[in-house]
Structure 1
Amino acid sequence: MSLEFSSWLSDQTTSDEIRLLRRVGGMEAKSTQFQAMEFAKTAAYGDVLVLDDTIQSAEVDEYLYHEALVQPAMMTHPDPQRVLIIGGGEGATPREVLKHPNVKSLVMVDLDRELVEFCQQKLPSWHQGAFSDSRLELLHTDGRAYLAQQEAQFDVIILDITDALEEGPAIALYTKQFYSLCQQRLSESGVMVVQGFSLSPLKWTEHATIRRTIHSVFPVVRSYSIFIPSFACTWGFIIATNNIDPANLSGSAIEQRIGDRNLVDKLKAYDAVSHTGMFGLPKDLRLKLAQPGNILEDDKPLVFE
């Protein structure tokens, strides 16, 4: 079978792998000051958002990623009222936060105004009106500078940022010094969560480096994961606190909080069973993540090992 490559979307999943997705509709592409983006309709995953040649989000399964990123952290905190998101341009991350009625204020800081405005227009099924919620304050500035310049305390900090490419704008948001700043801005029972790259027994070094870096600041650090079909891999997340272990939350406690916050019918994938399952990493992977190695620091080379 011959392929007409102009009708296919390429997605480079690793330095050694690439896959093709068949386009079934129009494509819109542009470059912002910070990244190249493409919006296309595919046969396999519906509408997809591609940033720097990598699928960022897909219509049919974005909820898997965004619920996994947001809900374990929100459920770990007993009463999250003030939340900060750094990144989150598609609008689905604030959508998940704002499902919680006890949230009184949400600050979202995304450096790329053009991307956010594009997503507001093109991705209504992602944000579902979250940008219009009166509790949301949207800022287009550097996330690290924002944290450094004010002293507000947050119950939950969600880092939904792009991979730490050495030439990319997000690199300063993956260092020990930045995570220390996040810790200073958390309330007593505060929770921080980070998207943690693909995670499997075959691909784990980036996640492990980020995890070690966070653990150099926070006493309680846990990894968890979920399979995202449009990413073609299992995706990792890292959650950190000063005193609460999210992996030890009982199923009854989670179900109680879901019920009290009227979320039973608002969550597609996340519940007490899936919470426990996400933290159940394979034995060989747990051993690899426990190995010693370097951490990421300001003004030092970016080395994942």
Structure 2
Amino acid sequence: MSSPLLRVVQEGDVLNAPEFKRKLVQIAGLSKKFGQDVVLKDISLDVSAGEVLTLIGPSGSGKSTLLRCINLLETPSEGTISIDGEAIWNSREPGSRLSAKRLAAKRSEIGMVFQRFNLFPHLTVLENVSIGLTKVLGKTKSEAGETATHFIEAVGLSRFLGAYPATLSGGQQQRVAISRALAMRPKLMLFDEPTASLDPELVGEVMDVMRMVARTGTTMVVVTHEMHFAEDIADRVVFLDGGRVVEEGVPSEVLRKPRHERTAAFLSRVLARERREGHLQS
């Protein structure tokens, strides 16, 4: 039986089935500096339509910065970024940069879920999910409410339509944030350590929703420190260290048979902890 979220997506004809031949995200020669601090160094990476790609690595390796560069929340220092065949950043051709209006339109095709939920505290759950539909996509209040309700129900929060964020648990707030991003019908979903701010007992409910999202064929790039989750949902795992891509491949290769010493050292620490906690099977 399909999940509630999958049914909502199919009914709305929102997302395509995986097309792995088509490159949805293309990154070439991407670097990012903060002052003299080089956080990303010559990153080249493609993400195919329908692919679930996870970014792993130690703190400070550049994972979140890379994610934020993809939708230009951070301005790259060098390199190019294309979304669905259209360059949104090209440091070599400054005159080719998108107009503010066109860039806003491209950003509306990219959903992002943050560590800290970023919900509007003065708006109800329904209003939080509806606001982008009215302000960005131009839907009427009635249309937005109907779409928002479907997505809220799909993540199991139908009882909380009129609730305010402060009355919800962290896991519930993150599920609202995911439904808000999905309701915009994005081509690409970015997740920046979506469980990092949650109490351990709440992590599972958010991961379950993300598994449902993955099954819809949504293209996802996920920064995570949960290796068992990366192994479970990812088509490809990318290990970053020192602002560079050190290793990438299918989860069974990168997580269980890493080729590089730095990857192996990182995983030996993280996976040992997860096995002790019973998350990852040997």
TM-score normalised according to structure 1 size: 0.30
Higher relative contact order (CA 8 A, sep 6+): 2
More strand by share: 1
More helix by share: 2
TM-score normalised according to structure 2 size: 0.31
